[in-house]
């Protein structure tokens, strides 16, 4: 079956978080008649429970629908839904590379946000044709005309004839579909050339093995073709290929240039099918891979430990299963004196971390203790060696350290002008280097900063939201490494160092962080049978101290008569409470205390 | 030959007015309901005695005939004794139904306010008990009373029926505090009632106190103790206020309107209690209980020492024949169950060895003199150290347990934080038992 290339439209939807991307995707699927609204589970593309709940897209999803346009022709729409968060920027860029055009969804009330811009630039980098769509025009606060002007002034896209829709109610969806046909070009490429296909996602299926989601740029792939991943070198015979019907795979005989589809080839590990890699025919390879491939690296690390030490093998199994679907998730076993056996896990960013943590807890029923997130520090040792560390505990002795480097990101923050001052103060507090500011219009500005990554992985996003009453939006990308005055802050509880509480801080803020940490732990650690000193130390120097006073009283001075059951239940409850504590030396530390470093900046 | 010691508890779930802190099964009720309840209590006593007797016989099927004969004889003998003693005796025609397996060492009428019942009822209930159980002549028989519900006539009838101990709920000698607690009496009324009880001839009286009341200062509490000491009761129970869910106090507490003394003040009150009482010749024998020598409450001790006890009435708990159970907690359910001869027992639970061991420790350690390693070994055929070695060592090192050749007891500091120590005596696993 050959398909007329001119009748194919490969496009994606880009938007700031919450601007209605997934809802629009649902409407498009619905309007093209594949599913009735009754059959549609809301937001069919966000099929992870967590995605629907958080209202974000985590994994790229793709669907093929057929639209009978007003010109009487049938068009094949390949809609590639991209992840909506900065943590998944690379995946977004690969999804974009698989398309010819993008629908830019802008909220009619909120206008352009930092991510809108970031995504537009990304789309422009890939030479996509961008079709603006004004969404949520049914909102009372909608100002579609203002937003259109904003799009024209800030982005420089023509927006006067942009579809004005409500994805929620389905209003004017037809306009969007027509715009896709008219404004987004058909794919190019020749089905006769050597195979060249871009992997924009891959998932693991326990029956089929790895399923590669790809866009055929050149050539044709058929069942039986021996394919080869050009970057990873993995090769295998194609077992099945096909296109994406909503919610299911639709096998076909071949995929040729311009088409979007899936390939299974009895590959067992998603690591072999990296996003961005090029699939080619092992016998007739293309001359060179598609541009833009890079191996995504974890940026944020933390220790994950089972609350119940006996669940360690369960945690390993769960991580292994998640990793099958998520090449960006890294983990290796580590041991903590305080927390026992666990894993040091690497993530793309804090959201990625939170998602994995939630999935482990929800889908695998694990109760976790997570240590404070860390970034990768480069340690230049006096002996000339350079080591990278992700766990503060592994920092070499200060006498062996010549200097240290930390990762730096370049960040763009969009904020209404009234909050510029507050946000600049925040960035300064976080050791930000001011690069510049652009006024997007009279009331909004785009702030550009260089920020150390370790300053934004804790709670920067929350602080940003709270200091701008929710108006600021934020986007960043890794820029490189810069030398910094950093020290390891150790926490001693009852004179014993608790490794899981150590973290790396800029020397200048060590005292402040240490003091707050001690205060926080004083709140978190319940009174025990003896007085417990809590100290923060840099090297052997104690820089802050608090004391948890000894418990005065915990006695049931009441006579329940013969009703022993009740008394026993009280004791059982108390004993259960003890189990939720981590024993460090003689001290019982509640599990949530290990996360308290995360919340130091709550005021 | 005496039977195994047995304590008997009778619950009277009635009071004039519910106190603001009280979460016991008790409520005001009409005289009619009270009568129905007492009737049900009597039926329950008879039914329970029959059941226990049947159990006893089933356990010894070979000696069945002999056993019954023995009980006849034994029972008659007991009644003779009763007549010899000062107590009233009602000779029953159904002698063979008397349960001789047990000898009742104490009877406790608790509540609620048992003294709210009309004068003759306590006597009636005791008579029924004596008819179906062997009540030792020296048995401790206590009635819980509330000030304001006592008069000379009632007290005389108690004495005549064999009641030899009164437990009077005072809680505080400060009228403002009494009002706050929702008590029906003033301190003055209490003093009058106490006086009448002494005049009537009661020689063993307990006074209940509660410390840590909302807004209470150490001075006010000290005054309460001094007022009580001036009356020289034989026994004082001094509890700390516990704000229980479902009480008016709890609602206030949730709303932040109950200003309780802080932990330190509360502990000061506790240690003050011990100090003042000790100076006046009272010895602490349990976390909250103090007595002049020889006046320790036998009934109370049996709970901590795990002596067998049987409870009658609404929600009354029992430990008998290695089984714990309680009774219907809903009054109408309870009454209809008794009336239709259904079992009133609920939450029946046969104790495993592990649980018996745990109870031995966490109940026994409430008693100031502690638990005996020797008794532990006799009862469980295991050394206490085999089961609890690490825990004993840990708390001895922390100064919370006193340990010698035989005795393990909480130290004063150990009492302060006893929950932490006691909960460690609950066993996660109990591999040692397999060896038995």
Confidence at A414, pLDDT banded by 50, 70, 90: confident
Nearest residue to A473 via CA among A483, A490, A486, A460: A460
Confidence at B111, pLDDT banded by 50, 70, 90: confident
Q: Do A561 and B422 touch (CB under 8 A)?
A: no
Does B92 touch chain A if contact means CB atoms closer than 8 Å?
no
Mean pLDDT along residues B77-95: 41
Tell me whether the omega of the peptide bond preceding residue B190 falls within 30 degrees of 0, making it cis.
no
- Specify the pLDDT at position B76: 44
Q: b/e per residue, A307-341, with b = 16+ CB within 10 A?
A: beeebbeebbebbebbbbbbbbbbbeebebebbbb
Does A575 touch chain B if contact means CB atoms closer than 8 Å?
yes
> Greater confidence, B62 or B321?
B321
- Specify the pLDDT at position A53: 53
Are the C-beta atoms of residues B409 and B399 closer than 8 Å to each other?
no
Mean pLDDT along residues B278-291: 94
d(CA B271, CA B280): 14
> Greater confidence, B10 or B62?
B10
Per-residue tokens: B176: 């403002």
Per-residue tokens: B267: 């502990």
Indicate whether B64 pLDDT > 60.
no
**Could you report the per-residue pLDDT of A325-368, keeping only the tens digit for each?**
777 888 999 998 888 899 999 988 877 888 888 889 888 889 88
- Specify the pLDDT at position B92: 42
Strand, helix or coil for residue B80: helix
Nearest residue to A80 via CA among A10, A140, A134: A10
Does A571 touch chain B if contact means CB atoms closer than 8 Å?
yes
- Specify the pLDDT at position A405: 95
- A-chain residues within 8 Å CB-CB of B359? 564, 568
- A-chain residues within 8 Å CB-CB of B326? 563, 565
**Could you report the per-residue pLDDT of A130-183, keeping only the tens digit for each?**
999 999 999 898 899 999 988 888 888 888 889 999 888 888 988 999 999 999
Q: Do A561 and B317 touch (CB under 8 A)?
A: yes
Confidence at B68, pLDDT banded by 50, 70, 90: very low
d(CA B343, CA A585): 52
Nearest CA distance, A570 vs chain B (angstrom):
9
> Average pLDDT, whole number, for chain A?
84
d(CA B418, CA B366): 8
Does B266 touch chain A if contact means CB atoms closer than 8 Å?
yes
Mean pLDDT along residues A102-106: 91
- Specify the pLDDT at position A387: 93
Q: Out of B326, B359, B415, whose CB is closest to A563?
A: B326
Indicate whether B431 pLDDT > 80.
no
- Residue in A closest to B415 by C-alpha: A555
Indicate whether B381 pLDDT > 90.
yes
Reduced DSSP (H G I as helix, E B as strand, rest coil) percent helix, strand, coil of chain A, to 5: 30, 35, 35
- Specify the pLDDT at position B95: 47
Q: Out of B303, B362, B416, whose CB is closest to A562?
A: B303
% of chain B with per-residue pLDDT over 70: 89
List of E strands, A520-579: 532-538, 541-548
d(CA B436, CA B431): 10
Confidence at B256, pLDDT banded by 50, 70, 90: confident
In chain A, residues 379-408 whose CB comes closer than 8 Å to chain B: none
Mean pLDDT along residues A19-31: 81
Indicate whether A603 pLDDT > 70.
no
Q: Out of B239, B240, B423, whose CB is closest to A571?
A: B423
Q: Do B9 and A557 touch (CB under 8 A)?
A: no
- Specify the pLDDT at position B22: 87
Q: Do A575 and B424 touch (CB under 8 A)?
A: yes
Confidence at B230, pLDDT banded by 50, 70, 90: very high
Does A512 touch chain B if contact means CB atoms closer than 8 Å?
no
Mean pLDDT along residues A278-305: 86
Nearest CA distance, B70 vs chain A (angstrom):
32
- Specify the pLDDT at position A381: 93
- Specify the pLDDT at position A588: 85
- Specify the pLDDT at position B91: 42
Q: Do A554 and B418 touch (CB under 8 A)?
A: yes
């Amino acid at each position: 079956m050959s398909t007329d290339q001119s009748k194919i439209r490969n496009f994606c939807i880009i938007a700031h978080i919450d601007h209605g991307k997934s809802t629009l995707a649902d409407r498009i699927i619905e309007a093209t008649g594949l599913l009735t609204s009754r059959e549609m589970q809301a937001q069919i593309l966000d099929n992870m429970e967590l995605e629907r709940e958080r209202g974000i897209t985590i994994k790229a999803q793709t669907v093929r629908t057929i639209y009978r346009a007003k010109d009487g022709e049938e068009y094949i729409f390949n809609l590639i839904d991209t992840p909506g968060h900065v943590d998944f920027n690379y995946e977004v860029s690969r999804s974009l590379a698989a398309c010819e055009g993008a629908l830019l969804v802008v909220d009619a009330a909120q206008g352009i946000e930092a991510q809108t811009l970031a995504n537009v630039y990304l789309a422009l980098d890939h030479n996509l044709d961008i079709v603006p769509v004004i969404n949520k025009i049914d909102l009372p606060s909608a100002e579609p005309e203002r937003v259109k002007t904003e799009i024209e002034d800030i982005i420089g896209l023509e927006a006067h004839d942009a579809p004005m829709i409500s994805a929620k109610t389905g209003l004017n969806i037809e306009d969007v579909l027509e715009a896709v046909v008219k404004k987004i070009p058909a794919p190019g490429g020749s089905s006769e050339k050597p195979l060249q296909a871009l992997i924009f996602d891959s998932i693991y299926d326990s029956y089929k093995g790895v399923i590669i989601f790809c866009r055929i740029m050149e050539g044709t792939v058929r069942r039986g073709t021996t394919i080869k991943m050009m970057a990873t070198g993995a090769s295998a015979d194609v077992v099945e290929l096909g296109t994406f019907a909503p919610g299911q795979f639709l096998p076909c005989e071949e995929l040729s240039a311009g088409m979007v589809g899936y390939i299974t080839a009895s590959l067992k590990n998603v690591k072999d099918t990296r996003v961005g890699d090029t699939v080619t025919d092992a016998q007739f390879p293309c001359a060179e891979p598609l541009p833009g491939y890079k191996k995504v690296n974890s940026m944020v690390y933390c220790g994950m430990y089972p609350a119940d030490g006996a669940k360690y093998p369960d945690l390993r199994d769960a991580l292994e299963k998640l990793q099958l679907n998520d090449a960006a998730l890294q983990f290796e076993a580590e041991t903590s004196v305080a927390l026992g056996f666990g894993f040091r896990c690497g993530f793309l960013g804090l959201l990625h971390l939170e998602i994995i943590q939630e999935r482990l807890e929800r889908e695998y029923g694990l109760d976790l203790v997570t240590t404070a997130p860390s970034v990768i520090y480069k340690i230049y040792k006096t002996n000339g060696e350079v080591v990278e560390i992700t766990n503060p505990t592994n920092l070499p002795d200060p006498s062996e350290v010549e200097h240290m480097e930390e990762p730096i990101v370049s960040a763009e923050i969009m904020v209404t002008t009234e909050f510029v001052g507050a946000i600049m103060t925040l960035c300064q507090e976080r050791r930000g280097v001011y690069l510049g500011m652009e006024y997007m219009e009279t009331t909004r500005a785009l702030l550009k900063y260089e920020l150390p990554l370790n300053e934004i992985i804790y709670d920067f996003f929350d602080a940003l939201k709270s200091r701008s009453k929710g108006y600021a939006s934020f986007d960043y990308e890794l820029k490189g490494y810069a030398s910094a005055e950093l020290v390891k802050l150790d926490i001693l509880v009852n004179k014993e160092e608790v490794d899981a509480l150590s973290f790396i801080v800029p020397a200048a803020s060590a005292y402040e962080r240490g003091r707050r940490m001690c205060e926080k732990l004083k709140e978190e650690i319940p009174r025990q049978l003896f007085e417990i000193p809590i100290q923060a130390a840099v090297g052997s120097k104690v820089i802050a101290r608090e004391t948890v006073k000894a418990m005065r009283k915990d006695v049931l001075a009441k006579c329940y008569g013969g009703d022993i059951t009740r008394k026993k239940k009280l004791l059982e409850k108390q004993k259960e409470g003890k189990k939720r504590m981590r024993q460090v030396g003689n001290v019982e530390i509640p599990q949530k205390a290990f996360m308290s470093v995360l919340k130091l900046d709550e005021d | 030959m005496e039977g195994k010691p047995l304590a008997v508890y009778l619950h009277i779930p009635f009071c004039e007015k519910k106190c603001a802190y009280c979460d016991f099964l008790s409520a005001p009720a009409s005289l009619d309901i009270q009568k129905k309840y007492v009737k049900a209590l009597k039926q329950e006593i008879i039914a329970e005695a029959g059941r226990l007797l049947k159990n006893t016989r089933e356990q010894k099927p070979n000696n069945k005939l002999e056993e019954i004969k023995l009980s006849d004889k034994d029972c008659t003998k007991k009644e003779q004794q009763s007549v010899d003693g000062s107590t009233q005796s009602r000779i029953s025609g159904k002698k063979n139904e008397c349960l001789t397996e047990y000898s009742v060492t104490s009877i406790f009428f608790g509540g609620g306010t048992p003294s709210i019942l009309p004068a003759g009822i306590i006597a009636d209930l005791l008579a029924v008990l004596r008819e179906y159980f062997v009540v030792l002549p020296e048995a401790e028989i206590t009635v819980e009373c509330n000030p304001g519900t006592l008069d000379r006539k009632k007290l005389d009838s108690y004495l005549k029926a064999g009641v030899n101990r009164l437990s009077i709920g005072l809680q505080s000698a400060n009228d403002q505090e009494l009002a706050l607690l929702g008590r029906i009496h003033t301190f003055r009324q209490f003093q009058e009632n106490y006086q009448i009880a002494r005049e009537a001839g009661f020689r063993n009286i307990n006074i209940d106190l509660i410390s840590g009341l909302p807004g209470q200062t150490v001075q006010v509490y000290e005054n309460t103790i001094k007022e009580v000491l001036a009356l020289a009761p034989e026994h004082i129970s001094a509890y700390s206020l516990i704000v229980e869910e479902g009480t008016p106090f709890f609602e206030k507490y949730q709303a932040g309107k109950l200003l309780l003394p802080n932990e330190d003040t509360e502990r000061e009150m506790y240690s003050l209690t011990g100090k003042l009482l000790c100076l006046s010749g009272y010895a602490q024998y349990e976390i909250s209980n103090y007595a002049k020598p020889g006046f320790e409450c036998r009934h109370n001790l049996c709970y901590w020492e795990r002596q067998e006890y049987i409870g009658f009435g609404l929600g009354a708990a029992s430990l008998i024949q290695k089984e714990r159970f309680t009774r219907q907690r809903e009054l109408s359910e309870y009454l209809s169950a008794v009336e239709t001869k259904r079992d009133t027992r609920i939450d029946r639970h046969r104790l495993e060895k592990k649980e018996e061991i745990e109870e031995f420790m966490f109940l026994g350690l409430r008693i100031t003199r502690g638990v005996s390693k020797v008794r532990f070994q006799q009862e469980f055929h295991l050394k206490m150290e085999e089961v609890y070695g690490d825990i004993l060592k840990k708390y001895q090192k922390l100064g919370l347990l006193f340990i010698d050749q035989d005795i393990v007891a909480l130290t004063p500091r150990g009492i302060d934080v006893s929950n932490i120590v006691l909960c460690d005596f609950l066993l996660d696993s109990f591999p040692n038992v397999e060896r038995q």
